[in-house]
Chains A and B, each alone.
Chain A
Amino acid sequence: MRAYVVGGSAVKVDRHFELGYRDLAYSVLSSCEVCGDAEYVVVASALPELMAHQVDLGVHIVQWAGRRVPVVRVESGESSGIAAVEVATSLIRSGAARKVVVLGVEKVTEYPTYIANRMYSLILDYEFEVLRGVSPPVYAALAMRELLRAGFGRECFSNWAVRMHENALRIPHAMLRFRISPESFKDAQVLAEPVTLYDSFALGDGASAIALSSEPTGHEVAVEIVYSSSEVGLPAYARDRISELQASTKLLKQLRERFGVDLRKVAVELHDSYTPYPIALLHSLGYIDTRCDLGELEFVNLSGGLKARGHPIGATGVYQVYEVFKLLTGGFDGVSVGSEVGVVHSMSGPDNVSRVLLLRRWK
């Protein structure tokens, strides 16, 4: 049995102080025209216990939406969204359900940012890393320093962020729809030297839903989930280099070797929580050298990426799949790609786990 994305929807990533988990979930389900007759719901969310004191979130969302379908919640840190798509795809392929809705939802603005930072840092190993003062931007800073020593210029990372903001201008659900310049980095708030706020993802609340079906016919458009794979990497402190994203590199190389995927020719959404990571990844795959010319990678992160579309932690992967689905089937307000193929890459922490999906337009 094959699995197809047949539609979806997304709420603008933003500070939705007036909306809770259930409200955001209901909002996106209501706007998803093809999500109505699902036989199963898979909810992706990373932080509801910490942010909203809520266990078994999926059940409470389905009850709130007035439905009685079975539901399960999937949590795998920042990669929860793609992990949920993996589970939903398995449900379809096994024949357990003919139609499954994957719903990513996250609240990150329930507390002041410094408390949200603390909660977000728990994607790392609490006892071995967090207790010792290690946080995600610390690893990003150490990775950037490694890349700077390897010959990359600081402007390489700034240019990534500038481009993501430029891309986000045309994406309706993106959080940061404004331009920045490389010069603005000089005054940006430092998180961990040399990483600044402008090198970091935008933290926002969000919800996105996609509908998966075993049957592409009868739908206006459909995109097949051709392949999915995931890999757990070494802890960052156990690597020779923190910027060595072995799991992500291996998975994307597999896509190239098995399916002939060239990231210069397909729609790609890369996990760019911090600017060093996509640069390190594209370098290890051989797409860029230390001069950091991104010119040929025109279809990479047309959404604006985590940097500018925003990163509602556990929901982000569902946004990525929705965006690639849209790009392969018509696009956003004039943003489209000529390719029939799309790739989604997600990871949690600095490559602690990496996940990829290969998508292909069916019609």
Chain B
Amino acid sequence: MKLSVPQFWRVRESLYKILLTKCLACGRVSVFKRPVCPYCGSARVVHEESQGVGVVENFTKVYYKQDSSEDRLPEVVAVVRLSEGVRIVGEVVGVKVDGVREGMVVEAVLRRYASDDPYGVIYYGIKFKPLKQDSTQ
């Protein structure tokens, strides 16, 4: 993975925060900061930051090798329904890959995505880990 410096600078907000787009026309909330609502196309939107807490709705254990992922496999990628009602897809860490299950309460954390090389940029972004208060773990 090699992002240009301008691209990395541009995307930093969406890497470090879970931003939501709330549509004032249809009322639906979508994930990521967007200029228009993906459901109705309205530009009457406001943005807010998610609390970063959600529930695992679906997940898969991934073995698919790509050139930035081979040192982490297998990894778990999950569909997380955030407390604001929207879904986001992201990696689940901080738990054994066989320990992830549907219904698990998770919270967003900053973790390393990849790095260019030993002396290059290290890319951090949002992943999810089990919430400590989730007594069902």
Contact = CB atoms under 8 A, between A and B. Distances in A.
A237 B38 CA distance: 11
Contacts of A254: none
Contacts of B67: 114-115, 117-118
A145 B60 contact: yes
Contacts, number: 94
A262 interface: no
B61 A193 contact: yes
B11 A138 contact: no
Interface string A184-202: 0000011111110000000
A142 B32 contact: no
Q: How would you classify the secondary structure of chain B's contact residues: helix, strand, loop or mixed?
A: strand
A138 B62 contact: yes
Interface size class of B (residues with CB under 8 A): 20 to 34
A194 B62 CA distance: 9
A135 B64 contact: yes
B46 to A, nearest CB: 18
B58 A133 contact: no
Interface size class of A (residues with CB under 8 A): 20 to 34
Contacts of A236: 89
Given A117-B66, A131-B125, A132-B89, A193 B60 contact: yes
23 contacts: A113-B65, A115-B67, A118-B66, A128-B32, A131-B11, A131-B113, A133-B62, A133-B77, A138-B60, A138-B77, A138-B89, A142-B58, A142-B60, A190-B63, A191-B62, A192-B61, A194-B60, A195-B60, A237-B31, A237-B79, A238-B31, A238-B38, A238-B87
Interface of A: 113-115, 117-118, 121, 127-129, 131-135, 137-138, 141-142, 145-146, 189-195, 234-238, 242
Interface of B: 1, 11, 14-15, 30-32, 38-39, 58-70, 75, 77, 79, 87-91, 113, 123, 125-126
